[in-house]
Structure 1
Amino acid sequence: MGLVPEEAVKELQASMDQVEEPLKKTFQNVHQGYVTQTLVRFLKAREWNPSKAHKMLVDCLNWRVQNDIDNILSRPIIPPDLYRAVRDSQLIGLSGYSREGLPVFAIGAGLSTLDKASVHYYVQSHIQINEYRDRVILPSASKKHGRPITKCIKVLDMTGLKLSALNQIKLLTIISSIDDLNYPEKTETYYVVNTPYIFSACWKVVKPLLQERTKRKVQVLPGCGREELLKIMDYSSLPHFCKKEGSGSSKHSGRGSENCYSLDHPFHQQLYSYINQQARLRESVEPIKQGSFHVDFPEPPAEGEEASIAKTLESELQKFHNGNGVSDLKIIDD
């Protein structure tokens, strides 16, 4: 008989109390004062098995130390033109907050081309947004609401899906693996909107391959999802592509301050300023170097849920391509 959650948390807490520096220090950047909630996230990711959750968490902490993740927010992507190219091809932004205080991240899965820089820059950018979310946005939201807020909501826009996504499966799998191994259970719900027929067809194939806890988090909404999303957030927090039916996630739609992908949006202005400010603080220790911040990332697994999903997607997309001549498809991006 398995341990009940409370007992599992206590056992994991006892084992984590034994870790020494530098793991203890980087663990502080992970839990941000919310130790129990962090232990619960890793336990959920390992089906409440304290031993497996302990290994996962220690592996995560070692990965952080070995890759200097604690300092990644002081390593800007330079020059600015390169950073803009990354932002224009990896569409993500913070559109607002749910009524419960959870940050709402918008992701332009359909129009993210991920082809303007090397894999390392996209991985660096993704981790920086994760770390900024976990170290700045979530603690601020927790303080504002007077309770722990440790998760976010993601709204994925499938406008503009393209078959060229086949070329990005490896990169998306790498990013997904980094999240699964080092940032588990950080997303409350994934809302998928503006889905073309071909996504719906692939979703029917992929859904049975997902774990139950993953499936429960994904909600495919009709149209732009506005009516459903307004049940959990105010109009002002809707991603720009949900405010008007058929508006899509065009990086050029709306004014800069409204388009949450734009560098003119407050979220990106604050993120950019924060990273550059942290970089200036480090300049006295070491000069800022051009080039990507190389992070060791897992090779896409040879077996398991992710590999099975990627393989099935590739197979199904190829069928659409060969059988129907379809040329507009892109994969869901987490």
Structure 2
Amino acid sequence: METVNPEPGRNSALDSKHELAKEETKGKILVQDDGALNDSTEAELTKINLMRTLVESRGPSSKEVDDLMIRRFLRARDLDVDKASAMFLKYMKWRKSFVPSGSVSPSEIADDLAQEKIYVQGLDKKGRPIIVAFAAKHFQNKNGLDAFKRYVVFALEKLISRMPPGEEKFVSIADIKGWGYANSDIRGYLGALTILQDYYPERLGKLFIVHAPYMFMKVWKIIYPFIDDNTKKKIVFVENKKLEATLLEEIDESQLPEIYGGKLPLVPIQDS
């Protein structure tokens, strides 16, 4: 996705605040008391404080987010404070307009929930929750693209709520078995990708794409250029004959869904 820059006409102001923030944070590295940032580098800790000063000067509501969120946006922009701040402020603006109540109600996305196309169950060997999406169960939303986007937000928030303390990422299995052109929804796929990359950065740990038919690869070629480089590194196409073995490298049998040779039944995302 294209890099988000500061608002037009605000660059010089942002630069001035950047310099001021540097002075204010010089010599100060603040670590949360719960130790959540213990795996941060010294450079990250310094830039977290710097970025927080910047975004709070532009949006007071930024004070409500924790340092882990600030760090995720920083990591998504390779620790570039200006780019990460612009990305974060865009997220805050989107959140306020798209999810004004703070969450998505199941009643808003009843049609997508009825398709039962996303399930969750289990944790991988790193403690990351597992989500399974069945592409053949997805059809374009008759209520429009925004309704599907709300469904994506609902699923991501549900998944995040299942994360063990200290965990920030999830693992996804995209099962393309049975997918056909009736399921092809490029606008929906790109909308979901935008939400994941722009508004939930550094949440995806790994994406396994399984049972991908030849027809799907034509659509994949359209989507691929819109995937940022950090996300591309996390995507693995799995050969059918190596499916169970590949998944077992990262997921214990006791935590693997039954349909892939494991022991856990899948649970629809709305019931998790």
TM-score after normalising by structure 2: 0.71
Name 2:135's counterpart in structure 1.
109
Name 2:270's counterpart in structure 1.
268
SS at match of 1:99: coil
Name 2:9's counterpart in structure 1.
none
1:127 equivalent among 149, 153, 174: 153
Q: Which amino acid aligns with 1:185?
A: E
Q: CA deviation at 1:200?
A: 4.7
Name 1:150's counterpart in structure 2.
168
Q: Which amino acid aligns with 1:169?
A: I
The answer (yes or no) to whether the contact 2:141–2:147 under 8 Å persists in 1 is no
SS at match of 2:119: strand
> Is it true that 1:55 corresponds to 2:94 in the alignment?
no
Q: Which amino acid aligns with 2:106?
A: P
1:87 equivalent among 103, 113, 116: 113
Q: CA deviation at 1:204?
A: 6.9
Name 1:23's counterpart in structure 2.
62
Structure 1 residue ranges without an equivalent (≥5): 143-147, 245-256, 262-266, 271-334
SS at match of 1:160: coil
Q: Deviations over 1:139-161 (max 9, x none)?
A: xx11xxxxx10000000001112
- Identity percentage of aligned residues: 19
Q: Which amino acid aligns with 1:10?
A: T
The answer (yes or no) to whether the contact 2:113–2:270 under 8 Å persists in 1 is no
SS at match of 1:51: helix
Q: CA deviation at 1:116?
A: 5.2
Q: Which amino acid aligns with 2:107?
A: I
Q: Which amino acid aligns with 1:110?
A: A
* CA distance in 1 between partners of 2:44 and 2:190 (Å): 30
Name 1:230's counterpart in structure 2.
248
* CA distance in 1 between partners of 2:114 and 2:127 (Å): 28
Q: Deviations over 1:79-102 (max 9, x none)?
A: xxx72x322436111121112210
Name 1:76's counterpart in structure 2.
106
The answer (yes or no) to whether the contact 2:180–2:215 under 8 Å persists in 1 is no
Cα separation, partners in 2 of 1:121 and 1:220, compared to 1, 3 Å? same
Cα separation, partners in 2 of 1:172 and 1:90, compared to 1, 3 Å? farther
Higher relative contact order (CA 8 A, sep 6+): 1
> Is it true that 1:7 corresponds to 2:32 in the alignment?
no
Cα separation, partners in 2 of 1:217 and 1:69, compared to 1, 3 Å? farther
The answer (yes or no) to whether the contact 1:8–1:48 under 8 Å persists in 2 is yes
Q: CA deviation at 1:133?
A: 2.5
Q: Which amino acid aligns with 1:269?
A: D
SS at match of 1:230: helix
The answer (yes or no) to whether the contact 1:12–1:51 under 8 Å persists in 2 is no
Name 1:241's counterpart in structure 2.
259
Q: Which amino acid aligns with 1:191?
A: F
Structure 2 residue ranges without an equivalent (≥5): 1-39
Moved more, 168-177 or 63-72: 63-72
SS at match of 1:72: coil
Q: Which amino acid aligns with 2:151?
A: S
Cα separation, partners in 2 of 1:182 and 1:212, compared to 1, 3 Å? closer
The answer (yes or no) to whether the contact 1:189–1:217 under 8 Å persists in 2 is yes
Q: Which amino acid aligns with 2:87?
A: M
* CA distance in 2 between partners of 1:90 and 1:230 (Å): 25
* CA distance in 1 between partners of 2:116 and 2:142 (Å): 9
- Give the RMSD, CA atoms, in angstroms: 3.0
The answer (yes or no) to whether the contact 2:140–2:183 under 8 Å persists in 1 is no
The answer (yes or no) to whether the contact 1:151–1:187 under 8 Å persists in 2 is yes
Q: Deviations over 1:102-123 (max 9, x none)?
A: 0000011233123454333322
SS at match of 1:171: helix
> Is it true that 1:258 corresponds to 2:265 in the alignment?
yes
Q: CA deviation at 1:42?
A: 1.2
Name 1:220's counterpart in structure 2.
237
* CA distance in 2 between partners of 1:133 and 1:162 (Å): 27
Q: Which amino acid aligns with 2:43?
A: E
